[in-house]
Structure 1
Amino acid sequence: MGLLSYFNAVNNRIEQNETTREIYRQMKGAEGEKIVKAILDKEHTLSYEYNVQLYIKNKIQIDFLVVDDDKIFNLEVKHYKGDYYIDDNQIKNNYGNIFPTPFQQIKRTEFELEFVKAKLNIKRNIESYLIFTNPTFTLHSEIPNRNQVLLPTELHKIPQLFKNYKIEENKSILNKINTIKQDFSQIYPNQLAPFNKIKPGLRCPHCKKVGHIRLDNRMRHGTCMYCSATTPRQLLYIENLKELYVLKNGPFTLKEAEYWCGGKPHAIRNICNSHFKKEGHHKNYFSL
């Protein structure tokens, strides 16, 4: 499990407040990563990883790490919304918020990747790109390092960055790097919302709204009163229980499943027994 799965599952299940503001900020970042991932996935033989954490001299997190015939690419993704200005190594938006420019983060990442190359004896140059994915993003000042920047209107250029003829060799290099990456699942629970603050209930698989599903006892399909989409009852339960597993970051009990979905106990029990693995000493926990 990773942060993308968690953010997808928690969407519309927590209130946006001081406690969850950082989670919502990361969720916005995850939206940008999904856009880039969809582009990379179309290149079926491309060797890449996303949300990579490495730690040799300094702890770094890389949005996307791509290995091609000549280079290791570090892709830094930003899903900034609205109007921005760059001034004196700072980036500002029209709300008055000020951040360090992402180029400083890119330099730290490149520095650490040089140690990774030395440790693993990898002969590839490092090349970085800053990718802005939100279609509303507008930069009103001159763009530094312009040849390293892709704006939202330039996302179609991403596949053109890579040469990928040495498919097996590139895959082997990526596998080497994977041997030293940190286990992300051990890191992301520190960033979770308190589970008792997460709203239970059936979430529509289409519009992702919670609490709008009309599902009477005899109905084989549930209808979302928000978006009017219909979903088979069994699929509703399965998808929502998968989300429960992700949000708990571990197995759940039958009682928790019943509370989460709010359906008839015997129907929830049948779904758990048929579609989830039993765990625990008495086999009373369910997992994916």
Structure 2
Amino acid sequence: MLLKSRKESENLLLYRSLFLRMSLCEKDVSHYQRLEKGYAGELLFDQYVSSLTNEFLLLNDVLLDFGNNLFQMDSLAIFQESVLLFEIKNFEGDFYVKGDRWYTLSDKEIKNPLEQLQRSESLLRRFLQEHGCMLPIEPFLVFVNPEFTLYQAPMKTPIIYPTQIQRLLRTLANKPTKTTHLHEKMANKLLTHHLSTSPIIRKPDYSYEILQKGIYCSHCYTFFKEATETRLVCSCGTTESIDDAIVRSVYEFMLLFPDRLVTTNVIYEWCGGVVKSKKTVRRVLSSHFALKGHSRKAHFVLKS
């Protein structure tokens, strides 16, 4: 049973928006591309896991703060006799291990993902023990990209290579999976302590004035240029209702500029002229958000 689905992180959404609306430095572009690639790898893993039909509890992207230690777990699967912790990587290319350090074949050192997994496992174990759960944890470092190769890795590691994923799924399909209210209680405890927003979000420097205005296609990420009275039409063939596009743009604006007021004029300008009527913007804002304040101080906020 899927108890917590996966969605793009605020960090990814922010960087995607900035990547499309301004020129980022090379370092920030690389960071953004890693975020996109990582999310794509997680979605691929989700497709694999969705083929399982046995009974277990699945939670994705759980972010916890335990003892002032922030840690995020890509996927957690609660089975009858154990908790499975998955760290998912979408690495592409050739890598090698030397001691406890990982390198590309060009000898560039990267973060050791096994250390990241071990840290999450340790903190998760302490969290579960504090809340009365003594189930053992089975950690897995899963590489989903078929173009990934790792040389000189120790044999006894919890690594799952792309060629081993189907074998892993068969193993999971045969695990005892009778969950009880105690398993559900544990899952709910994790959900209760999950942080919906990370307190640490790295942001490039940007301002409203330098960002390109407009609404971009959620499929191909090019900016819409055509619109009917009710829909936006992209050159890739994607269409989106005016209402949905405006709402999506408002959430994007709120993410980028949490301290700015959301008004009809501001969102009309933010949409870059592709929405022809301010009345349309005002109607959508009134329908999907709550009006706060009066006269010149009137603005829209999220509905409670």
Q: TM-score, normalised by structure 1?
A: 0.80
In structure 2, relative to structure 1, the CA distance for the partners of 1:254 and 1:107 (3 Å cut) is: same
Aligned equivalents of 2:255, 2:243: Cα separation in 1: 19
In structure 2, relative to structure 1, the CA distance for the partners of 1:195 and 1:17 (3 Å cut) is: closer
1:27 is aligned to 2:36: yes
Measured against aligned partners, the alpha-carbon deviations of 1:51-96 in whole angstroms (never above 9, x if no partner) come to 4223227443322233221112221111212221222222212344
Measured against aligned partners, the alpha-carbon deviations of 1:174-217 in whole angstroms (never above 9, x if no partner) come to 22234444x341514x32344526543111122122x2x1225x
CA RMSD of aligned residues (A): 3.2
1:129 to 117, 140, 150: 140
Aligned equivalent of 1:97: 108
Q: How far did 1:258 drift?
A: 1.2
In structure 2, relative to structure 1, the CA distance for the partners of 1:164 and 1:18 (3 Å cut) is: same
Count, aligned residues:
281
Contact kept in structure 1, 2:64 and 2:193, CA below 8 Å = no
1:53 to 46, 64, 70: 64
In structure 2, relative to structure 1, the CA distance for the partners of 1:85 and 1:186 (3 Å cut) is: closer
Measured against aligned partners, the alpha-carbon deviations of 1:214-235 in whole angstroms (never above 9, x if no partner) come to 225x54433223x233333333
1:7 to 12, 29, 43: 12
Aligned equivalent of 1:148: 158
Q: TM-score, normalised by structure 2?
A: 0.77
1:287 is aligned to 2:297: no
Whichever residue aligns with residue 247 of structure 2, its letter is I
**More displaced stretch, 274-283 vs 26-35:** 274-283
Report matched runs for 1:39-50 at 5 Å. Answer: 39-40=48-49, 46-50=57-61
Whichever residue aligns with residue 233 of structure 2, its letter is T
1:232 is aligned to 2:241: yes
Aligned equivalents of 1:95, 1:167: Cα separation in 2: 50
- 3-state DSSP of counterpart to 1:239: helix
1:69 to 80, 92, 107: 80
1:108 to 119, 131, 139: 119
Q: How far did 1:249 drift?
A: 4.9
Whichever residue aligns with residue 4 of structure 1, its letter is S
- 3-state DSSP of counterpart to 1:22: helix
In structure 2, relative to structure 1, the CA distance for the partners of 1:22 and 1:107 (3 Å cut) is: same
Aligned equivalent of 2:3: none
- 3-state DSSP of counterpart to 1:113: helix
Aligned equivalents of 1:45, 1:257: Cα separation in 2: 44
